[in-house]
Amino acid sequence: MSDSDSPSELDPPDLNYRCGFAAIVGRPNVGKSTLLNALLGQKISIVSPKPQTTRHRILGILTNEAAQIVFVDTPGLHTSGKRAMNRHMNRAALTSLSDADVNLFVIEALRWLDDDQRVLDELTQRGLPIVLLVNKVDQVHPKERLLPFLEEIGKKAAFADVGLISGLKRKHIDELPALIAKYLPQSPPHFPADQVTDRSEQFQASEIIREKLTWRLRQELPYGVTVGIERFVEDDGRLLINAVIWVERSGQKAIVIGNAGEQLKEIGRSARLEMNEAFRRPVHLELWVKVKENWSDNDLALKQLGYE
């Protein structure tokens, strides 16, 4: 080692740097995944108008000069639904609350439901800082209507901070990282600066297909649909992906395939186009539809299909 490489002359660690976990929590359909995508400036979590679209715990990593914030996008906590899938989603969300350094409690402007209260009860039990994020404020007119709503919500808990935001319109999103970083411990980063998620491309491919299914069939599609990747290989600069769309009944299979297979072709086409862009290389995608009876209410089937 040369003198210039001696430990005493190496750059010391930044003792003011902060790094930690911020769980994005709330009831279903308040815009948690849209918020995560807005914070990262790219799509990490799939979104749709249907509640309970997010089924897994997904990390989104934001790194800047002052902090690395590891956002945890969670399934919406809910009391409705008694199937094994509902229990899985609630467990995934509750685990994230305990692991976080700060919890970002997302609610919808001017709406407070029983499930919002259930989430807040879980948060207050943990004793961690709670940052209240009131989403969809762009839909409130006139803005003065927010004041009595905020006063009422403010009585429900001692929130560490409050932010009025729109994840969809990106209003006040740029201000959030500095606000959140205040509640993270001093620590070097946990992940490389260029990493934005903990999820593999294979997982992202299955989620993209599921999102296209949800948007394409949102009036007809039941919740008992999931996607498994059976082949994911690189071949001469291309990705070759074979995926199975699992449904719970034969009637659902016919809906997904559509007349003369047109529905399935359109789902595959739109998924492939998004994958081309997301993975930055051409994708060849083949889809099949198979039936696994009542998989969403079977713990063993859930595990087999990747719901840990």
Query: Taking residues 136-162, what's their average pLDDT?
Result: 96
**How far is it, in rounded angstroms, from Cα 36 to Cα 73?**
7
Mean pLDDT of 36-53: 90
Mean pLDDT, rounded, for 136-165: 96
**Domain 201-304 is of which CATH architecture?**
2-Layer Sandwich (3.30)
Q: Decide which of 56 and 263 is more confident.
A: 263
Asked if 48 contacts 211 with a C-beta cutoff of 8 angstroms, the reply is yes
Q: Rounded mean pLDDT of 94-101?
A: 84
Element (H, E) at 87: helix 84-99
Domain boundaries, the chain: 11-181, 201-304
What pLDDT does 13 receive? Answer: 59
Residue 96 has pLDDT above 80, yes or no: no
According to DSSP, the β-strands at 58-63 and 67-73 are antiparallel
Check residue 7 and give its pLDDT: 41
Half-sphere exposure of 60 (CA within 13 A, CB side): 25
Percent of the chain with pLDDT over 90: 75
Six-digit token string for 146: 């927010």
Question: In the predicted model, is pLDDT for residue 241 greater than 80?
Answer: yes
Within 8 A by CB and 6+ apart from 224, the residues are 247, 248, 249, 252, 294, 295, 296
Query: What does the pLDDT look like over 154-206, one tens digit per residue?
Result: 999 999 999 999 999 999 999 999 999 999 999 999 999 999 999 999 999 99
Per-residue pLDDT band at 44 (split at 50, 70, 90) = very high
Is residue 194 within 8 Å of 42, Cβ to Cβ?
no
Binned at pLDDT 50, 70 and 90, residue 222 comes out as: low
Q: Which CATH class is domain 11-181?
A: alpha beta
pLDDT at residue 92, rounded to an integer: 80
pLDDT on residue 81? 66
